[in-house]
Every structure is written in C-alpha cells, then in structure tokens.
Structure 1
Amino acid sequence: MATTQAHRELAHRLEEEAARSPRAYLVRLALLAALGYGLLLVLLAIAFGLPLLMLWHILANGARPGPELAYAVLLPLVFGAVVLRALWIRLGVPEGYVLGRGEAPALQEEVERLRQAAGAPALHGIVIDGELNAAAASVPRALGLLGHRHYLVLGLPLMQLFDREELAAVIAHEFGHFGSGHGGFGGWIYRVRLSWYRVLDGLAGSGFMFSRLLFKFYEWYVPYFNACSFALARRNEYEADAAAVAAVGREAAASALVRLELGARRVHGRFWPQVFDRARAQGHPPAAVHAQLVRALRADAPADLERVLEIAARDSDPEDTHPTLPQRLAAMAAGPQLRARGQAAAPALLGAALLAEIERGLDEYWRERVRAQWRQRYEEAAAARAQLAALEGLGAPGAQERLEHARLVESLRVDFDAEPLYARLLEAHPDSAMAHYRAGVLALRRGDADLGAARLRRAVTLDAGAVRPVVTDLETLAGDPDLDAACAVAVRSLREELAPAAQELAARDAAAADDEMLPHGLDAAALAALAEVLAAQPRIARAWLVRKRIAMAEAQAHFVLLLDWRGPVAGEGAALKRLVDALSLPGSFTAFTGSNERALAQRVRALCGEPVYRKGAR
C-alpha cells in the first residue's frame, strides 16, 4: 500500500492535472474505474463460463461424468460466488428517522425552496439521524441503470448547533452535490472501491492459486484509484461550497463551516471520549445522551478562530476528501468568522413534539448500538474498580499504592479532578516520573501553563521513556480549540522540544528490513509463555521471533515477532491489537504478519529458522 506521504503527493499531483484538464481527468478516472469493474467481470465470466463449457463438452461427446467433475465444476463456481457477491452491493434508504408526508412542514418547505434554487433533482425523502453531519445520499436502482433515488440526510445535532441560516448553508451545500450530478458518478466510483475490498476480503485465505496475483494488482490499483478519485471528490466539495454561498451568502456559509469545525472538535475530542470513559464505572449507557450532546454543542465558550484554523490545517487527513477549513474559506474568499448565535434550527423546523420523538428514538438506537461495547468496557474495568476499593481501604498506603490510587481515580471517576492526588504524592515522593507526567497533563488542561510544562519536563528527565506518552498527550492537547492561550503556547513549545527524542525512541522500537537482527535469546519458560498467548489466537498458525540489535549495550531489548496469519484481511488488524495487549516480553516488540513487509519477513524467517510456535504443537 502507498504510504501516507506518497498518497498525499499523488493526490496533489492529480488534483493539479484535474484543474488543468477537467474533461481528460474525468475520462481517465472513468476508464480507471472501468478497469476495476472489467477485471471483476472477466473473472466472473471465467468462473461461471468454465464449468458450463466443461459440462457442454462432456454432454456433446457422450462421456460419463465422474466424481472428479464435481470438484472441477464447484471450485470455479465458489470463486464466482465470491466475485458476484462483491459486485452486488445493495444500498438502501439511509438509517434514521424518515420524515413522513406532512411531517415537519417548515423543514420540508425550507428544503424544497433550497432544492429548487439549486436546480437539484426531486427528493425521495428527508432522513434525520444522530450524526453531527449532513449528506446527499443517492441510492441506485438496478445498479444505477434505472437512475437513483435521492435522500437528504440531516443530523439532529447539526440542526441543534446551527441557526436556520447556517443550516440552510449546509443544505444548499448538499444540494450542490445533487445538482452537479456528484451523487451518480461519485456513487459508482465508491462502489468500484468497495467491490475490490470485498473481493480481496473474500479471497483472503481461500486457497485460490491466483489470489496472490490479485493482491499484486490491488497493491497498485487501489492506492492509485483512491488518489485519482480523491481529486474529483475535492473538486466536488468546492463546487458544493459555492452553491452554499450562492444560496445564503458568504458570511453565513463561512460561519457554518467554522461553527461545524469547532463543534466537531469539541464533540469528538472531548464529549464522546468522556461519555465512553464512564463505561469503566457505569454498567449501562446514559439514557439521554443527545440532550447532553446538545448542551455541549450550544455552550458559548469563546474561541480563538485563528487557532482553530491552525489546528484544522495541521490535522488534515490525506484520506479525507473534504478540503481543510482554511482551504474551503480561501476558496470562498472569506475569513474565519462566527455570526452571533441565533435560535437553534431544530425546534423551529421540526416542532417541539416531533423533535422530542426523534430525540428519544435516536437515544434508543444509540444505546442499542453501543450496549455490547459498553458492557465489555465495564467488565474489563472490574479488576480496576476492585483494586480502587481495596486501595481506599488501606490505612497507611505507600508511595506505589498512592500512585496507583491516583491513576485509578483519574481513570474511573471522570468528574473527579485527580491532580490534587498527584500533587500530594509529589510532596512526599518528588521523583515519581508517572506522577509528574499525569499531574502535568492535568495542569495544562485546567490552564496552568507554567506548572504543567515544568512537571512534564521533570517527568522526561526522571524517565526518558516517558517522552513518548508525553508527546502523545501534547498532540491531543494541541488539537483542543478551547485550550487556554498560554497553555497552547506551552504545548507548542514542548512538542517542538520533545518531538526529536520521541521520534528517536520510536525508531529504536521499530523494525525494518535493513536492521541488524540477532537470535531472540529467550529461555524455554519465556517461549512457553509466548506460545500460550499465541495459542489463544486461532488464526495464528506459526510464529518466528528474533531480536533487533540496539546500539546501546544497556538498552532494553526490542523483539521482532513474525506471525503466519490464516484469516480474512479485515480481521488482521483487530487480532494484532488483541495480541499486543495480551503479549508480555522482556522488552519492547514489533508484531507483524509480513503482508506488507515481505523483505523483513524473509530475514526474520531465515535467522530464526524453525518457528518458535506452531499451532497444535506441544
């Protein structure tokens, strides 16, 4: 797969080509998409045509079919079924509350007014969901051969965040997608990409002899196709923004973009993490989460708009088809601005009774969707809750017990400020790197720049390994638009100061094909413990283990663990995460499957020789 930097450079180059010659670019993209579909159709024709040809040959020559014929016929048919399933992607009505005829007349009239102004096709429905977003959804009929049904999806949180004019800007933006025909062609592009992911997932571990050839094609085709279609999606977003400006004016359109950016960072960076943190101490999801979400969105905390732009520019995702906030404002010829907040659009456009009904339904849907995940988090924290209760029953806890108590309070009691616990611990034990680290982060969060920065520097001085979690937390703080201005400056300075050491440590704890490798050097007991953990992962058939040579003789060992993974591609990442969480080695380690690191995998196997683990071996 292409690296992030390579993807960014390729997408940027293709965007420039699309701007110079739009028609040639669209032809190129259509041909590239047709190549993906064409290969799938050829494979489908072979899979179903070959058995029919064999049967016709046998019948035409009067031969008696033997048992070996069943295998020869069924094998390509099974492969064909995988390909056919990948091609048949059914897209239904978007999930959410579908407004009935006559419901929310104020909203229906406003939407229809904006639709006609944009020249967009008629809607088949308006859907209200629980996302802080809006979408133009085109549902194909007969793979798009009979046209599309168009739905406007509006997130209820979005309708609570915006006033009517800002909401109109967002609706006009979505109609800009419909009116320019973005939905049909873009939807086809999306289905090509999804078809390939499903084919490869279906073929992974299937044993088909040419599956490796498909993976080779995938390694070239999908990154290039994604980057090529990325340029189209970016251009579509700019055109849709222009439709929003034409509908409501530059001020309201720009204000909607800034308010959405600010609201999204507050919700995804603070609100939802705090909600799910409660799962460690509360056994059931909250009953009225959307009311809490609305209060968080409507809080009128002052915002430094220039800093919001800086955060948005720095945190750009090369996989996100939406341009960054500064890019979108520049295309609008607008500066960062927030209009005076008006009345929320949702009550006025939906009415109080329907608003309450939709909110109850979305709350119930959300609770059902997260219930299993919530329960799992609660059960996983059972030992931590028991440990906290035991520590609070101690009469005279020592330094380690007091540190663990502060960490557990911070983890389990979301509404409790644990910083005083760390501060009291540091009065008696000033050399606790962990206490300095956690107290420093909490001090920065509450706005004490000097104390927070001093404690974090002290943590790294006491324990060089602390630099990586410290830098990780600094990066999180840097993305908080509500961080105190002095703390924002301190965070920026600390990140620049500590980032080189964090990168050096990360490089030490990584593995590459040109690194010097040594035998692992573990004893029989350590290998038995490793085998026990690997045996809990049924998809791992074998494993090889070596040790990376570290320049410093006294440095902690770093192990490299190669796994023979026998399962779907989609499950590989989750299995690796579970393994990393469960694995304990006398040092740091890198665990990988070799699917994207073939040269490194060959070196590990060659040095290790026999696997250190085989499934079913005693």
Structure 2
Amino acid sequence: MSNFLPAPQEGRWRALIWLAFGDAFLLFAGMLLVVSPLLLIFSLSSPLLLALLALPSLSWFFYGLMVLRALAVPPPPPVSNGILLDPAKVPALAADLERLRLACDAPAFTAVYINGDLNASIYQTASRSGPSKHILVLGLPLLALLTKDQAAVVIAHEYAHISRQHGHFARWAYMARQRWAALGDLHERNHRLITAPLRLFLSWYVPRMMRETLEFSRRCEMFADAQAVQACGADLALEAEFALALRQKALSDRFWPSIFARAGAQELAQAQPFTQLLAEPAESRPRHGAQAAVWLHEALCQSPDPRSTHPAFFERIASTGFDPKARLPDPLPWYLEKEAAAADWLGKEASGMAAQLDAHWRENSTQAWQDAEGWYARQHGEFANLLHRRKQQTFDERDWLFLAQLAEKFDPESPLRQEAIAQGLRHSPDDPTLLQLRADYLEENGDVGGAIALWHRIGKNSPASAYAVHRRLCELCLRAGDRATAEYHRHVADELWTGQDARRSALRDRFPHGMEASEVALLHGVLQPLFAHARSVWLCRDTPANIPDASRWFLYVEAYDGWFMRMVGSLTGEEDVNASACKRLLERLLPRLHIYPDVVFIGPSENIPAYCSPDSLIAHAGRAVSPVRANVEKPLIAHVDTGGSGPN
C-alpha cells in the first residue's frame, strides 16, 4: 500500500496528559496520606495534640495505603478463554495474515487465538527482555459467518491498530478506568470527612478523563477503518461493515434466544451453539433481504454513544465513501454467498475448536439454562391452563391473544393459533397486537399485499405505533418489489426516530407493572420497610402487561431528601441518610421478592421519567398504593352433565 494515512495525533497528547495527571495525583495523595503521621510528629510540639490526633492519623495512613493499592491494578489478561492457533495447522490463515501484514506495513502477530465472540481484537504489551508482543484474537462466529474477504477487512483494521501502537494506549486507558472504578467503589463505602477532597477530585477528574480518552479511542477506530479501506478497497469494506452489523443483530435477536428457547425440550449437554454456527443456521442471519435492509436502516439512525470507544455505525459506513442516507445497495450481504472464512482458513480444525468452545459455554451457562427451563415450564403451564379454561370460561380478546402467542410456541402445527387470532379479532377488531399477529401470518403465507393493508390499518388506529408501522411497511414493500414506496416509509421512520417524542415510542419503553392486586399485595408486604424512607416507588416492565413473553422488571425509587443534605452532598459527596437507608434496605429485601427487578434511584435533581405514572406507582408518601384498576375475575361457566358427574 503506497499511501498511508497519518496517525490521529489530534487529542493523543491531551489523552495521555490526562491519564498521567490522574496517576500522578493518586501517587501524590496516597504518599501524603501514608506519611501524614510522621508529618504530624515533626510539625506538632504539643503532646496533647499528638495524643488527640494519633488515632485519626493512623486512619489516614491506612486510607493512603488503600489509595496506593488502587494504583496497582493488574493489566488485563491477553486472552480470556481463547484457543491458541498453531500456524502449521492453519497454513491458509497464516498466508493471508502475512499478505495483510505487508499491505498494512505492520509488525507480525506474536500469537493468534480463537474465542467465542463475533469480533476481532488485539492485545499489545511491552517486554523488558525483548520486542513487544502483538496478539490477535479472532472470534469463531466471525469466521463462521463472514467470507474470507469480509473477514480480511476486519483483520486489516486490527493491523492498523498495531501499526500505530494503539494497543498500548488502550491498555493504559483500560487500567486507568479500572483504577478509578475501584476508587469509586471504595468511596461509595467511605464517606468520612477525610475522604471528601479525593471524592471531589473524583467527581471532577473522572468525567473529563473519560471524555478525552474515549474521544481519542474513537479517532483511533476511524483511522483503523480508513486504513482497512485503503488495504482492501471501499466496496469490500462497505460489504464487511454491513455483513458484520447484520450478523450481530441476528445473533442477539434470533440465534441466542433460539438456543435458550430449547431449554425445556433438551438437556444442556446437547446444546452445541458454536458447532451450529459453522453450518450458518437460519437464525444466524435475517429472514430475507428486506428484513436485512430494515435492520440496517435502524442501525444507520443510531446516534454516537459518548460512553463507547467505537464510532456510530453511520460514521463507519461514511468512512467507506458511502452516503448513509442513500438507498442501500442491492443485494445486501445478509447470507453467505461464498464459503465461510472458517472453512477457508481453519479447515478441519474448525470443528474441534467449536467443540472446545461449546464445552466451555456449557460450563458457564448452567444457571442461565436453568432459568430458561423454569421459564419454559411456567409458559407451558400457562398454555395448558388456557386450554383448560377455554372449556369452562368465556374468553375476551386478551385471553385469545395469550393463547395465540403461546400456541405459536407450543403447538405451531395446529390451527389453534389462527383460531385464537380470529376469535380475538371478533371481540376487538382493531386490537393492534392481534392485527400484527394476523399480518405476520399473511406474510408467512405469501400474502404480502394483505399484510400491507393490515399494517396500514394498524397505523391508522394506533398513532403511537407509527415508527414500527413505517419500518414494517418498508420491509413489506421491499418484499413486494416496490422500492420507491419502501424508501418513502424508510425516510418517514428515520424522521420519527430523530424526533424526541417519537424516539421514546421507537425505543423499548417502560410499561406499568400490570400485576394482579394479590401480587401487588405481596410486594407491599416485602417492601414495607422501604416506604418509610422513600417518597415514591414505581414498578415498571419492558413489555406490555398483555404480552406473555419474559419481562424485565424495573423498580424506581425516589428517596426523601432535604435541602441541607443536598448542600452538604454537593460539597463533600455525602449521601442523604434516606437514600442510604433505601439502598441498604433493598440489599436485604430484594432477595425476598418473587421477581428480580433492576433498581433505579431517582436523585433530587433528576426529573421523574414519564413512565413513572400512577399506573406503575406502588408506594407514595410512606403508604402502599393499590393498582389503579382492580382486576375482576371472569365468571366461571361450569358445564354439568345430566349424569351428575360434575364439571368437565
């Protein structure tokens, strides 16, 4: 490669100075605290003062040791649970690595490992006895789901990092973040006055250090992307970016959920996810090109994350010379058109590596598998209960919706699902969830026009679903071959995403808990000690109450606070006594709940989220709050035969 891009110098020295300044300050503060008893002895002549300050000075000494201990953060391990490759056994990979190294003018990798991530990374470390070590880590899913040419772009990106020694900076920044995180944990437990200066420094320094280091890390990523474009070509780099984004979405949304969905039907010992990936299962990719396009449309709308070391997806796409707002190329790389990189580079070694990764995954997935088995059993029990109740009770649209969704999982071959959808729509013709199920059924059976009509109907009756409606209409129009209309729906959805109000409906929002009164009473009984210290407590979930899928629970707590403690806290970092009491109580009370909520504390200067509404309120002003709408049991209709045998 003849023309090399200059390394990103802007911000390098700023980031390095911030890292060095933090380390120097910690060293100075720790040493000062450690020698503070000696300084007192030499500076004070009064025996009385020395006697009074003897015990506090000892606490300063031990506090200084804890601060200095934070400086001794061990470096990250080069590889976590990776398989070391023998170059002699994978000559094809070794040859292509050498070709890419020469193209990128980079040093050779000291070792190459294979792990279970859909990613590639490097690790650089200096050695006192010899040259620096450069370690490449390749994920087996990356090699199994990308072609050799696409994977070469990813490796060229990593070569660009080591050619400019980005790994050394990343290692220092990683250790600094670990160090300051450890100090933050230390000061969460220690609010004495002696710790106030360092807590003030933490609150001032850490956000600025993170901003500078993360910004420079993002510049390094953009530089590596540009180097990969020069080494492999813009078209291939664009294809690799698209393919990687689609595979990441497919694995998180389809493949791994499908693996755990089998928990009730097979044993953990039978699960072989990495071996399955070598065959590119259907769940490892979008269902079709239209869905792939919509996934990319959504990814291109994502804003940069200020907490991430990587640029936003649209920025990475723009680095290849492609306009993120332009119509996507056709066809998209949503499936393997050629042999996978794992087959080309690893050959027969791939299956053995997959078996090792499978074994390690099973060792670490025991608890998650047991949780999935429990959820499967509860869902199957609910399905059996609905089938039994159908003979004895009059169902409403919510019952039919539950039955349709569970029938899709537990009895997909029978007409029960379609019967439940039809019955539910008879009770509530405009129910958006039932209409979506009906539209999905029509699409699965090839009636794309009928599905489009139903989605238009959903959008008309449910304005809050406008974003999802336009995304689905874009996908369906692409399937129907109407690219012009699809682009119209894409741009409308993109505009809705950028609007603050519409973004809340586009993102997965929080919903009221929707619990029965008896369940809320159980919560009240367990959380009663918390109510004395909390102004308000809300319970939300990430799915609507009428969806039987697994919900993630969120407990929002707003503690009582006073103006005086707010003023003291702003000066010293001291936490309000009620907020501290809430946290201590929840550590003891949460294990007793029948749900496992994530706890979110709402501070005195924070706005209460919109989803913390009366429907989700469970306590206010020290008192328990019952559900706004009581759930009324449906009448039981018993069928009695003339023989007196009782209900069926």
Equivalent in the alignment of 1:28: 14
Amino acid of the residue matched to residue 31 of structure 1? I
The two structures have a TM-score, normalised by structure 1, of: 0.70
Amino acid of the residue matched to residue 120 of structure 1? A
**Using the alignment, how far apart are the partners of 1:146 and 1:139 within structure 2?**
11
1:384 aligns with 2:379: yes
1:597 aligns with 2:608: no
* Aligned-partner SS, 1:102: helix
Extract unaligned runs of 5+ from structure 1: 1-18, 511-524, 548-558, 584-589, 602-607, 614-618
**Number of paired residues?**
545
Equivalent in the alignment of 2:177: 193
| Kept in 1: contact 2:275–2:355 (CA 8 A) | no
Which of residues 282, 294, 311 is equivalent to 1:323? 311
1:273 aligns with 2:254: no
* Aligned-partner SS, 1:92: coil
Which of residues 364, 367, 373 is equivalent to 2:362? 367
Residue 349 (structure 1) shift: 1.8
Mapping for residues 203-214 of structure 1, pairs under 5 Å: 203-209=187-193
Deviations 1:523-582 (A, max 9, x none): xx9998655342699xx99322389xxxxxxxxxxx98414554999x999x99998967
Amino acid of the residue matched to residue 233 of structure 1? S
* Aligned-partner SS, 1:131: coil
The two structures have a TM-score, normalised by structure 2, of: 0.67
Amino acid of the residue matched to residue 545 of structure 1? S
Which of residues 136, 161, 174 is equivalent to 1:177? 161
Cα 1:385–1:123 change in 2 (3 A) is: same
Equivalent in the alignment of 2:62: 77
Amino acid of the residue matched to residue 255 of structure 2? F
Equivalent in the alignment of 1:542: 533
Amino acid of the residue matched to residue 370 of structure 1? S
Amino acid of the residue matched to residue 406 of structure 2? L
Cα 1:62–1:34 change in 2 (3 A) is: same
Amino acid of the residue matched to residue 107 of structure 1? L
* Aligned-partner SS, 1:374: helix
| Kept in 2: contact 1:277–1:412 (CA 8 A) | no
**Using the alignment, how far apart are the partners of 1:285 and 1:476 within structure 2?**
39
Equivalent in the alignment of 2:96: 110
Equivalent in the alignment of 1:348: 344
Which of residues 65, 75, 85 is equivalent to 1:90? 75
1:423 aligns with 2:407: no
Equivalent in the alignment of 2:225: 241
Cα 1:250–1:610 change in 2 (3 A) is: closer
Amino acid of the residue matched to residue 534 of structure 2? A
Amino acid of the residue matched to residue 597 of structure 1? S
444-453 vs 232-241, which moves further = 444-453
Residue 175 (structure 1) shift: 0.6
| Kept in 1: contact 2:87–2:94 (CA 8 A) | no
334-343 vs 473-482, which moves further = 473-482
**Using the alignment, how far apart are the partners of 1:233 and 1:456 within structure 2?**
43
**Using the alignment, how far apart are the partners of 2:459 and 2:290 within structure 1?**
31
1:532 aligns with 2:516: no
Cα 1:432–1:599 change in 2 (3 A) is: closer
* Aligned-partner SS, 1:341: coil
* Aligned-partner SS, 2:121: strand
Residue 393 (structure 1) shift: 3.5
1:291 aligns with 2:275: yes
Residue 262 (structure 1) shift: 2.6
**Using the alignment, how far apart are the partners of 2:201 and 2:163 within structure 1?**
35
Deviations 1:271-329 (A, max 9, x none): 22333344466663752212333423578944688766533321244244433454334
Percent of aligned pairs with the same residue? 25
* Aligned-partner SS, 1:121: coil
Mapping for residues 512-523 of structure 1, pairs under 5 Å: none
| Kept in 1: contact 2:238–2:317 (CA 8 A) | yes
Cα 1:419–1:233 change in 2 (3 A) is: farther
* Aligned-partner SS, 2:28: helix
Which of residues 296, 302, 321 is equivalent to 1:333? 321
* Aligned-partner SS, 1:399: coil
| Kept in 1: contact 2:471–2:493 (CA 8 A) | no
Cα 1:284–1:600 change in 2 (3 A) is: same
Extract unaligned runs of 5+ from structure 2: 324-328, 511-517, 539-554, 560-577, 610-618, 625-648
Cα 1:76–1:280 change in 2 (3 A) is: farther
* Aligned-partner SS, 2:112: strand
Residue 54 (structure 1) shift: 6.0
Residue 241 (structure 1) shift: 2.5
C-alpha RMSD over aligned residues: 5.3
Amino acid of the residue matched to residue 341 of structure 1? E
Equivalent in the alignment of 1:37: 23
Amino acid of the residue matched to residue 33 of structure 1? L
Equivalent in the alignment of 2:636: none
**Using the alignment, how far apart are the partners of 2:28 and 2:427 within structure 1?**
71
Equivalent in the alignment of 2:616: none
Amino acid of the residue matched to residue 232 of structure 1? F
Amino acid of the residue matched to residue 328 of structure 1? R
Residue 375 (structure 1) shift: 1.2
